Amino acid sequence: MKKIAILICKNVSNKCTGSGCFKAFNQKKDAFEGYSDEIELSSFTHCSGCDEEAEELLEKKIQKWRDTGIDTVHLSTCIRGRCHLYETWAKQLSEDFNVIGYTHGSAEGKKGNNINLPKEC
pLDDT digits (tens, 9 = 90+) for 51-93: 777 778 888 999 999 999 999 999 999 889 888 888 988 999 9
18: left (phi over 0), alpha (psi -120 to 50) or beta: left
User: pLDDT band for position 7 (50/70/90)?
Assistant: very high
The answer, yes or no, to whether residue 121 has pLDDT greater than 70, is: no
- What is the distance of C-alpha 16 from the center of its chain? 15
Give the start-to-end residue ranges of the domains of the chain.
2-117
- What is the distance of C-alpha 53 from the center of its chain? 19
The answer, yes or no, to whether residue 117 has pLDDT greater than 90, is: no
Q: Which CATH class is domain 2-117?
A: alpha beta
Taking each helix axis as running N to C, give the angle between helix 54-68 and helix 86-93, from 0 to 180 degrees, rounded to the nearest 10.
30
User: pLDDT band for position 44 (50/70/90)?
Assistant: very high
The amino acid at residue 68 is T
CA distance 22 to 46: 14
Q: Which residues contact 27 (CB under 8 A, 6 or more apart)?
A: none
Q: What percent of the chain has pLDDT over 90?
A: 52
User: pLDDT band for position 107 (50/70/90)?
Assistant: confident
* pLDDT computed for residue 102 by the predictor: 94
CA distance 90 to 99: 6
